[in-house]
Structure 1
Amino acid sequence: MTSSEFHANPDNFCYRHPGRQSFVLCQRCMRTICPECQTQAPVGVICPECMQDQRRNQSPAQRKAQRRWGSRTMTAAGGRPLVTYWIIGITSAVSLLQLLPGVGVPIGQALQFWAGYLYPSLSGESFQPWRLLTTLLVHGGFIHLGLNMLALWMIGQSLEPLIGRAKFLTLYLVSGLAGSVGVAVIAPQVSTVGASGAIFGLMAALLVIGRHLGANVTGILVVLGINLAIGFIPGFNVAWQAHVGGAIIGALIGLVYARTSGRQNARFWWIGLVSAIVLVLILVVAIVPPLLITAGH
């Protein structure tokens, strides 16, 4: 395409500001819009006209949710999922080092999780509780890493701007912790690596929050159900215990965020309730697996 043809094509310029070049399309009407005309939506961006039309067609429940969540949360996050990018970058760097011949095995062994590291008197290993979270940084191969990071990127694009960076990071870490606790409680003899527990927590939270906002969550529910079911299919070497643990706690935290957002002293409530969830997880992993291991002997 020549320069004159490019400038003659109105699709290369914002429909509301014809002098501004852009290649971003409104996700509803598919017209070109410049940064000034872009409003962040759960998926992609929409133009001002579509935003007005969407607000006119909202149900009473959706309007109530909009008043509670509003655009304040998204503005506080800056509209860019920076935490998502940082998690992907750090996890990918560590996992790729772990997959290198020669140095990979020691890294994987130093960061993977096994319940025995929590109970020195029963396993003979040293006490290493940090492995509950460091296991999120290492993976079983390029495919495992790629699928988890792709899922994180896709979910983070929508969820992090919606709830804010602090809540998103908290959700990711606590869901990952819950995944490790799930493995320790259900299958204490199994060692595990990967961020799958945290990813399932994000999916479950997105499902709960989306339902609260009145969005169509059928697609998320189907994806979550399929991925949970894969863990129970014979032949797939998947730690489904981490998936279940992460999904349950992720859904619970999503409910906390939905119920406390927009309320007076909202930060106090969500931090307090999530801290209580973490405390319960610590108590569960401190009490239940030793009883199971002792009973097994």
Structure 2
Amino acid sequence: MDSESTVTTCYRHPKVECHVRCTRCERYICPDCMREAAVGHQCPECVKEGARSMRQARTLVGGRVSAVPVVTYVLIAVNLLAYLAEVLRPEVVDRFAMVGAGLLGPDGEHYLWMDPHPAGFTPEGVAAGEWYRLLTGAFLHLPPTGGTFGILHIVMNMVALWNLGRLVEPMLGRVHYLALYLLSALGGSVLVLLLAPGDAVVGASGAVFGVGAAYYVMARRVGADMGPVNRFLAGLLVWLVISAVFTSWEGHLGGLLAGGAVALVFAHVPRGRHRVLVQAAACAALLVLLAVLALAKAAALGSGTF
């Protein structure tokens, strides 16, 4: 009779007899519910609660640590899918390339900007209100039939992004890294709009240059041996300068400047409760600056007068 009264069962499985208590809540748990702990075993609920209360590891800039560079892989996949769309539908390039100001002629050909434009010509580009081109152009590349460079354009950019992204993304964290990449791409497009609005520009090189600038800034911030870093970046620079001959040095420079500025803020804002807010405010300020510059240039080109 006494032995029956002392029988204990698992709190999650009342029909299972057990004699082990959770070291945290002291409830009885069966072998199926036991979770290894530093001392003894814990129940599933206590393990989940401990995981929630455990302080998340952070990168040097305050982002969440991610061992797998998921954002880099996704960005490469998006670029490859966009390239496949170009191959299947060549008009995708004309529709989404970074063009500051151009004209579509009655014959379907693309012409340089003229204001006022001749009769029968349709304005196109950012100055015609196609603001999406500031970002979409950074996910397109020269088609396979794009002259001597052709398919090498996307190959070179994706190889560079693969090598750099796997280094920089773990340093920054996924959110910080994505923000830097997109702002670098936008910075490159805005400089194209300012300096060469009549050019049709495609390529991820501006964004990749921004990631390269971030790698340099972060390496210096952590006190890394700059010899290998400089050699790596020198090779990358040669690699990307070749593509600049066939695409746009303005986009490369704009991406480099934007990415470097963002990385400097990320790396040198002091730790504290408001670090993430300061970083976000700096990114927002850069975004506003780029938007103002783009709006001013579009207005100067005659936006709204068509």
- Give the alignment's TM-score, normalised by structure 2: 0.64
Does residue 277 of the first structure (1) align with residue 262 of the second (2)? no
CA RMSD of aligned residues (A): 3.0
Paired residue for 1:78?
66
From 124, 139, 142, the equivalent of 2:141 is 139
Shift of 1:220: 3.9
Paired residue for 1:189?
198
Unpaired stretches in structure 1, ≥5 consecutive residues: 1-69
From 127, 130, 133, the equivalent of 2:129 is 127
Counterparts of 1:1-297 in structure 2, within 5 Å, are 72-73=58-59, 76-100=64-88, 103=89, 105-116=90-101, 124-125=123-124, 126-140=128-142, 141-222=150-231, 224=233, 236-260=245-269, 262-288=271-297, 290-291=299-300
Tell me the distance in 2 between the aligned counterparts of 1:165 and 1:233.
Answer: 29
Q: Residue type matched to 1:76 in 2?
A: R
Tell me the distance in 1 between the aligned counterparts of 2:299 and 2:116.
Answer: 8
Shift of 1:284: 1.4
Unpaired stretches in structure 2, ≥5 consecutive residues: 1-55, 103-112, 118-122, 143-149
Tell me the distance in 1 between the aligned counterparts of 2:187 and 2:215.
Answer: 17
Q: Deviations over 1:237-292 (max 9, x none)?
A: 23000010000111110101001263331111100011101111111122246547
Cα contact 2:69–2:169 (8 A) shared by 1: yes
Higher Rg: 2
Cα contact 2:171–2:218 (8 A) shared by 1: no
Shift of 1:189: 1.5
Cα contact 1:159–1:168 (8 A) shared by 2: yes
SS in 1 for 2:272: coil
Tell me the distance in 2 between the aligned counterparts of 1:261 and 1:79.
Answer: 24
1:245–1:235 distance in 2 versus 1, CA, 3 Å: closer
By percentage of residues, which structure has more helix?
1
Paired residue for 2:50?
none
